[in-house]
Amino acid sequence: MLEVLNLNFMQNALMAGILVSIICGLIGSLIVINRMTFIAGGIAHGAYGGIGIAFFFSLEPLLGAGAFSLLLALIIATITLNDKARIDSVIGAIWAFGMAIGIIFIDLTPGYSSDLMSYLFGSILAVSDTDIYFM
């Protein structure tokens, strides 16, 4: 049973699980305390827009998702700076906007043949050494 841990992809999956659990534990506590639980889903699904834009311009999808997520977070922070009561409405709009932009740009990408669902759901077994480094 333990010989499965000798495989590189299993080691990466285990390391990714450990790192993500630590990161989510720390960030999740701050999100719950600040009553912004909807923001994680909004930015995560909005990042799909960055993936679509990156594919359209033949860039690295991780770079596109990261840059677009940062842009979305700045937009949310700017809009809700003075009016905290509207934060859920703004996050919902960002969520829909990001997903729509992603679908539009991926549809417009010539010769696109990748599986769209792999970017929405993914697989922990597909984590690469580079992904571990970024975590």
Tens digits of residue pLDDT in 92-109: 898 999 999 998 998 888
- Read off the pLDDT of residues 59-82 as tens digits, 9 standing for 90 and up: 988 899 999 999 999 988 888 887
Structure confidence by residue, pLDDT tens digits, 12-21:
999 999 999 9
Asked whether the beta carbons of 27 and 18 are under 8 A apart, the reply is: no
Q: Could you tell me if 53 and 101 are in contact, meaning their C-beta atoms sit under 8 angstroms apart?
A: yes
pLDDT given at position 116: 67
End-to-end CA distance of the chain: 27
CA distance 35 to 9: 36
What pTM was computed for the model?
0.76
- 24-38 pLDDT tens trace: 899 888 888 877 788
pLDDT at position 81: 84
Q: Which amino acid is at 104?
A: I
Comparing 37 with 8, the larger pLDDT belongs to 8
